Chains A and B, each alone.
Chain A
Amino acid sequence: MTAVEHCAVNITGSGEKTIVFLHGYGCDSGMWCKVAPAFENDFRVVTYDLMGYGKSATEHYDPVRYASLDGHVDDLVAILDELRLKDVIAVGHSVSAMTIGLAAKRRPDLIGRLVMICPSPSYANDGDYVGGFEKQDLLGLLDILDVNYLGWARDMAPLIMGVPDRPELGEELTESFCRTDPDIARHFAKVTFLFDHREDVKMITQPTLVLQCRDDALVPPTVWTWLMDNMQNADHVILDATGHCPHVSYPEATTEALVEFVRPRVVS
C-alpha cells in the first residue's frame, strides 16, 4: 500500500501549481471543505487524512513511527514523491503547520511556499517564552480525552455491534466527523501538545504566510510575537476571527488571505 492510499489522498481541481492541505489535531480533511474548493479553478488541490484520522488506514498507525511529527513528515514527503509533485504550496493547520515546516526543511525541492494557520511552535511556557499553557494543563487534556472516550465508547457500541434495523446509527457513523480511535487521539495529543518545535521553525527559509486569529484560546499573542521575531521569511496576518479553526468558522476571510498569498506575483 502506498502513502497515497494509506492517507486517503483526494485530488481535485487542475492547474500547474499544486496546493496541499493538511488538517490539524482533532479532526480530518473534512475541515477544508469550505476553503479548498475555492482553489480548484487555478490549482491542483490535494487533501488527505493524517494517519490515524478520517479515512486513513488506521490499522497502520504505528505508535513508534508516529511518536513524533517525523512520521507525519515522512507521509507528506512520500505522498508528494509518489504523486511526482515538486514546489508545491503546503497549507498546514495547527500542528500540521509544524509538519509542513519540518518537511520544507528536509525537502526544499518539494515545498516552495508555506501557509501556517494558527501555528504554535510550542504550547508549553518555558522561561521567557509564553506558549500559553503549563505542562499540567496539557496533560489535563489527556484526562479529558480519557473521560470522553468512555462516553464515545457508549455512543459507538451499537455501531460496533451492528444494528441493521437502525440505519440512523449507520448515518451517525458516516457523520463521525472528528471522531477517531481514542488511543490514537491520546497519542497524537501528546505529539501535538508536548513537543517543542521552536528551533525547527527558525530554519524554514521558504516564503511563509502565518495566519493567526485575533482571539485564539490556544495561541496567545505572545506566540505571534515570537514567530515574527524568529522566522526568516514569513508574512504575518492576523485575521479578524476568533477560535482556533478559522478555515471552519471564518472560511471567507481565510480563503481571502490564502488567495492573496498564492496569487502569482507580478514581476516588475
Chain B
Amino acid sequence: MTEATAFGIDPDLWPCGLVVMNETGQIELTNATLREWLGIDSSDQCQSLRFVDVLSRAGRIYFETHLRPLLLMNGHFAEISMDIERSDGTRFGVFMNGRATLSNGRMINAHFCVFKNEQRRSFERELVAKRRESDEFRSLVRSSPQAIVSVDMDLIIHAWNPAAEDLFGYTEAKAIGERFDSLLVTPEDQETVADDLLHIATGETLRSEAVQLHKDGRRLHVEKSIAAINDKTQEYSGFVAIFSDISARKASEAKIQVLLEEINHRSKNLLSVVQVIARQTWRLYKGADFFSAFNNRIASLTSNQDMLISSKGSNVDLESLAHAQFAHLIDPEDPQVVISGPAVHLSKSVTQAIGMAIFELVTNAAKYGALSKEAGAVTLSWKINDMPSPMLEISWIETDGPPVIVPTRKGFGYQVTGPLLEGVTSGQTSREYATEGFRWTLKAPLDRLTQ
C-alpha cells in the first residue's frame, strides 16, 4: 500500500503532519510535511522510530500515561498540546488529534494529525505563566498571617483572606459583596473613610493604628495599612487594606499605664512618708543625732520596701512584719504604738499583701491620722477565733488623732487594704471612720494565711 492510497489523496500536500502508528507503537507512515518538520528525508528512516521517539521526554510520559490509554479506552483524543523533538534535540510545539482503529478492544493502529502551533504556543506559555503567577499570588494572600481585604471604587469588598475571616469573624462568602464601611468601620470613624480615600488616591500609603468592628460588635485594635489599587492604565480602581491584630499589644500598653500610675502613687506616698519621718525625727533629735536617727529610719524604710516589693517573700512572723512597717517612724519603745497578738507564722503568699496593707495604714495614719499628732496612738492587735473554724482577726484602732475625715475617693490605698487583700487572703475587711479614730479590721481563715 502506498502512502498516497492510504490517505486517499496525496498526503504530502496536506499542511499538517500525518502519522500512522501500529499496535506496538512503531511509526508506520508519515507524510512529507511532518518529515520536513522533523528534518528527516526518507519515510524509511521514520519507520525505524517509535511514535514516542519523536516526542519530548516529558511528552513520552504524558503519551504513555494518558494518551495511549485514552486511545485504547475511548478510541480518540483531541487538541492535545505537545512538544515534538527532532533527533538533534531541538523542539517545536504542536496540537495533536489522535484516533485509534480498534478491533475487539485491541488497537490495530492509530492515526494522528499534528498542527504546528509555535506562535500560539508562546501565547499559551504566557497564559500558563500568568496562571502560575496568579496561583502563587493567591496562595500567598491565603497564607498571609495579616488580614488582607481588597475593595473597589464603590467600597464593595472583592477579596477577603482567611486571616480576615479570623480577625473580623465574617466568612469570605459573607464579606465579599458587602460594603467595607458598613462591615468594619465604627460609627465615629465613618467620616474619616472619605478622607482616607482622598489621601490614598494621590498615591499615599496610610499606616495607622485604628479601631475596627468585629462581627459580634466588639471593637478590635488593629494596625492598618491602606494603599490604592491602580489598574493597567494607572487609573484608581479601589484599595487594598491590610490589618494586623494589635489587641495584645494594646492590652499590655494598658497594663503598663496601670503600673505607671501605681508607681506614681507609691513614689508620692514614699515622699510624704519621708516628710513625716523628717518631721517626727526633728521632734526628738537635733544636730548630729538627727542625721543619724533620720538615716536609720530611712534605711529601715528601704529594707522594708525591699521585702514587700520582692516577690521572693519568705515565711514571716506577723509581729515582726508589723514592727517593720512602723520602724521608719516610731522607736520600738514609743508608747504611741501598741502591737500585740499571739505568734502567727504567715505563709509567703500572704506576707507581701498583709505587710503592704499595714504599711498603707501606717502611712495614712502618719499623714492624716493619729500618728500625725504627738498625742495620737495606734493599737495593732490580732487574735485567733477558733469557732467555727480558726480565723485570724487583725484590728487597727487609732485614738486621739485629729478629727476623722471620710475620704472622698477610693484610691490605690483602698485597693491595698481592701479588695486586693481580700482576694489574696480569702478574707473580709471592714473600715470605720469613727469620731474617736479610724478603725480597720481583717478577718481571714487562718489556714489560708499560714499554709
Contact = CB atoms under 8 A, between A and B. Distances in A.
Interface of A: 24-27, 30-31, 34, 94, 133-134, 137-141, 143-148, 150-151, 155, 175, 177-178, 193, 215-218, 242-245, 248-249, 251
Given A141-B58, A141-B62, A245-B64, A215 B79 contact: no
B367 interface: no
A134 B58 CA distance: 10
B67 to A, nearest CB: 9
A175 B74 contact: yes
A200 B299 CA distance: 76
30 contacts: A27-B73, A31-B69, A137-B57, A138-B58, A139-B58, A140-B59, A143-B128, A147-B81, A148-B81, A150-B81, A155-B79, A175-B74, A177-B73, A178-B69, A178-B74, A193-B61, A215-B24, A215-B25, A216-B64, A217-B61, A217-B64, A218-B61, A218-B64, A243-B64, A245-B64, A245-B68, A248-B72, A249-B106, A249-B107, A251-B105
B196 interface: no
Contact of A25 (B60, B65, B125): B65
B64 A144 contact: no
Interface of B: 23-25, 50, 52, 56-66, 68-70, 72-74, 79-83, 105-107, 124-125, 127-128, 131-132
B73 A243 contact: no
Nearest to B127: A150
A148 B80 contact: yes
Nearest to B125: A147
Contacts of A137: 56-58, 61
B318 to A, nearest CB: 62
A102 B28 CA distance: 41
B74 A144 contact: no
Contacts of B63: 217
A76 B27 CA distance: 39
B191 to A, nearest CB: 45
Q: Which 9 A-B pairs have the closest CB atoms?
A: A140-B58, A26-B65, A137-B57, A244-B64, A217-B60, A147-B81, A141-B58, A242-B24, A217-B52
Contacts of A139: 58
Contact of B65 (A24, A34, A151): A24
Given A140-B59, A248-B69, 13 more contacts: A27-B65, A137-B61, A138-B61, A139-B58, A140-B56, A144-B82, A147-B128, A148-B80, A150-B128, A178-B66, A217-B50, A242-B24, A249-B107
Given A151-B79, A177-B74, A245-B64, A27 B128 contact: no
Contact of A94 (B57, B65, B68, B127): B65
A138 B59 CA distance: 10
A185 to B, nearest CB: 9
B62 A242 contact: no
B125 to A, nearest CB: 8
B68 A244 contact: yes
A137 B62 CA distance: 11
Contact of A143 (B58, B68, B70): B58
A147 B124 contact: yes
Nearest to A147: B81
Contacts of A146: 128, 131-132
Contacts of B125: 147
Nearest to A30: B73
Contacts of A34: 105
Nearest to B53: A217
A141 B68 CA distance: 16
A212 B50 CA distance: 18
B69 A133 contact: no
Contacts of A248: 68-69, 72-73
A53 B69 CA distance: 15
Contacts of A155: 79
Nearest to A250: B106
A75 B63 CA distance: 28
A26 B66 contact: yes
A178 B63 CA distance: 12
Contacts of B128: 143, 146-147, 150
A31 B124 CA distance: 31
B392 to A, nearest CB: 60
A134 B125 CA distance: 22
A147 B95 CA distance: 11
A172 to B, nearest CB: 10
Contacts of B59: 140, 144
Nearest to B131: A146
A175 B82 CA distance: 23
Nearest to B68: A243
B25 A245 contact: no
A55 to B, nearest CB: 15
A24 B61 CA distance: 13
A47 B211 CA distance: 58
Nearest to A241: B24
A251 B70 CA distance: 15
A249 B58 CA distance: 21
